[in-house]
Amino acid sequence: MSSLPHPFTPQEPSLLELGTAPEEPCLRADAARNRARLLEAAARLIAEHGVAGVTMEAVATAAKVGKGTVFRRFGDRTGLLMALLDHSGRQLQADFLGGPPPLGPGAPPLERLRAFGIAVLYRSAEQLELQLAAQPEACRRFSHPALQALRTHVTMLLRQIVPDADCELLAQTLLASLDPALIHHLTRQLGMPMERLEAAWVDLVARVTRTDPPA
Amino acid sequence: MSSLPHPFTPQEPSLLELGTAPEEPCLRADAARNRARLLEAAARLIAEHGVAGVTMEAVATAAKVGKGTVFRRFGDRTGLLMALLDHSGRQLQADFLGGPPPLGPGAPPLERLRAFGIAVLYRSAEQLELQLAAQPEACRRFSHPALQALRTHVTMLLRQIVPDADCELLAQTLLASLDPALIHHLTRQLGMPMERLEAAWVDLVARVTRTDPPA
DNA sequence: TTACGATCCGGACCAAGGTCCGTTTAACTT
DNA sequence: AAGTTAAACGGACCTTGGTCCGGATCGTAA
């Protein structure tokens, strides 16, 4: 894998200010320097050997730094990848918070929402390799036979209810809202009661299948 | 972690018929025997030490089998966990394919769809530990600050458009349909063009925000 | 400038996932 | 019953993520 041209080619001159330690108040001089070095090295490795080439040891070596330093700074491999991702993340964030319409303020909410989704869509389509590397195994869940069965079933039901819609993709969305990881996050980490999730599901189904656009 | 009672307590006597090699046509006698042994051992390990205790070597040892055998049979750790999950997966599948209404055939599609989501919801809520273990890192993505910003933004927009709805959860759903891994799956593995995704997003937004009296 | 404490660095070390290949064995043939 | 072959087995071996702690450095205060 990854012998084709990689989407992540650092053209920005000021890669050093990439992710200026958001949460950590102040970093000791050497720590900050090493952090920058590491991010630069990681970006270079990605450009040269693809995401697979970003081994913690390789990054450490390329940055002329000890392996332990990488882990102390970024926690783990995922943390490092996330830090790299943070850059474009903040870009998009700035765009819809203060940029020009229709993404930024000024346009009506509905229009902004449309533009938002499309922006995310295309941004994701670029950094796929990196995005996926930060979430190992992330795509296998979609091809799991059991899930495919669920999807087929939901698609079939949708076809009977809203024949005109893109039922495959609608089914994907519905199933995405039932993702175990999401449920875990909502109930365990955010403390939402199951009843609320249940109500939200029923409401979502109602909205999605409401079939009366009088044009 | 995982010192509390584990949700996965094998009470079923016939654990051996758990996942009877769905795709692989026929398994050699010894292979089938070892497969069963491995699944049994894995289930026991989970019950005793939680999912974290399910080390490939531990499973192999407990099943009195070589490590290589585990990998040949299940591919990797995720594969093994998936195989364990398959059981309840097939159960649910049978329920909505041939079970009694409202889940099974007999009820109107809309009602079945509602019941379906709720069933998945509660099933997921049980096997969380296992589900999550099969998708390492799966829940970290939700707490990532960049994603939180997106969510806040979408929630805010939704509040302006459909103030009566549960906008937080609606936002979660919308964002879930923009998940990078999902986009990758749809475009790369299923070959859908971006234009279709874009259209689906616009349609989804329209459906979700359609604000006409259901009553 | 010196002294000192907090912070950081480095790389040896460990555990666990994943690979490889020579050996064994089940299933089928004659 | 013996032979043949494709498949399965086992466990040594490699890689890589992650931990640990003695020693080096930075920032600061005197």
Is residue A168 in some structural domain?
yes
User: Is B73 near strand D, with its CB below 7 A from some atom of it?
Assistant: yes
pLDDT the model gives residue A21 = 40
Print the SS3 string covering B117-184: HHHHHHHHHHCHHHHHHCCCCCCHHHHCHHHHHHHHHHHHHHHHHCCCCCHHHHHHHHHHCCCHHHHH
Residue B78, classed as helix, strand or coil, is: helix
Q: Suggest the residue from B197, B203, B211, B212 to mutate for an interface test with chain A (most A CBs closer than 10 A).
A: B197
Q: Please calculate the CA angle A120-A121-A122 and round it to the nearest 5 degrees.
A: 95
Residues A64 and A38 reside in one and the same domain: yes
Residues of chain A falling short of pLDDT 70? 1-25, 212-215
Instruction: State how far residue B142 is from chain A, nearest Cα, in angstroms.
Output: 7
Domain boundary among A84, A116, A131: A84
Total domains in chain B come to 2
Residues B202 and B99 reside in one and the same domain: yes
Residues B189 and B90 reside in one and the same domain: yes
Residue B212 in this model has a pLDDT that exceeds 70: no
Place of tokens 């995922």: A78
Q: Which nucleotides of D are covered by protein (CB under 7 A)?
A: 7-13, 16-21, 25-27
Rounded Cα distance between B183 and B187, Å, is 6
Split at pLDDT 50, 70, 90, the class of B45 is very high
% pLDDT > 90, chain B: 74
pLDDT the model gives residue B138 = 87
Residues B56 and B135 reside in one and the same domain: no
Is residue A21 in some structural domain?
no
Split at pLDDT 50, 70, 90, the class of B34 is very high
Domain boundary among B45, B68, B84: B84
Rounded Cα distance between A16 and A142, Å, is 37
Check: CB of residue A214 under 8 Å from CB of residue B212: no
% pLDDT > 70, chain B: 87
Give B-chain residues touching A185 at CB under 8 angstroms: 139, 142-143
Is residue A24 in some structural domain?
no
| Nearest in space to B207 (alpha carbons), one of A164, A147, A180, A121 | A164
Rounded Cα distance between B194 and B196, Å, is 5
Who's near B212: CB < 8 A, 6+ residues apart? A210, A212
Lowest-confidence range among B79-88, B90-99, B114-123, B130-139?
B130-139
Structural domain that includes position B51: 29-84
| pTM as predicted | 0.89
Residues A164 and A73 reside in one and the same domain: no
Rounded Cα distance between B121 and B123, Å, is 6
Check: CB of residue B192 under 8 Å from CB of residue B186: yes
User: Is A126 near strand D, with its CB below 7 A from some atom of it?
Assistant: no
pLDDT the model gives residue B213 = 56
Check: CB of residue A138 under 8 Å from CB of residue B139: no
Rounded Cα distance between B171 and A102, Å, is 19
Check: CB of residue B102 under 8 Å from CB of residue B112: yes
Rounded Cα distance between B155 and B174, Å, is 10
Q: Which nucleotides of C are covered by protein (CB under 7 A)?
A: 7-13, 15-21, 25-27
Strand segments (E) across A45-147 = none
Is residue A133 in some structural domain?
yes
Is residue A22 in some structural domain?
no
Residues B45 and B114 reside in one and the same domain: no
- Model pLDDT for residues B199-211, shown as the tens digit of each residue: 999 999 999 999 7
Residue B18 in this model has a pLDDT that exceeds 50: no
Residues A101 and A80 reside in one and the same domain: no
Residues A105 and A199 reside in one and the same domain: yes
pLDDT the model gives residue B25 = 67
Is residue B90 in some structural domain?
yes
Record: contact A121-B166, CB cut-off 8 A: no
| Nearest in space to B81 (alpha carbons), one of A137, A85, A62, A154 | A137
pLDDT the model gives residue A211 = 77
Domain boundary among B42, B68, B84: B84
The amino acid present at B80, given as its one-letter code, is: L
Residue B107, classed as helix, strand or coil, is: strand
Residues B166 and B184 reside in one and the same domain: yes
Instruction: State how far residue B91 is from chain A, nearest Cα, in angstroms.
Output: 10
For chain B, what is the mean pLDDT? 88
Split at pLDDT 50, 70, 90, the class of B94 is very high
Is residue B139 in some structural domain?
yes
Residues A190 and A165 reside in one and the same domain: yes
Is residue B189 in some structural domain?
yes
pLDDT the model gives residue B185 = 94
Residues B71 and B108 reside in one and the same domain: no
Residues A67 and A160 reside in one and the same domain: no
Specify the CATH number for the domain of residue A34: 1.10.10.60
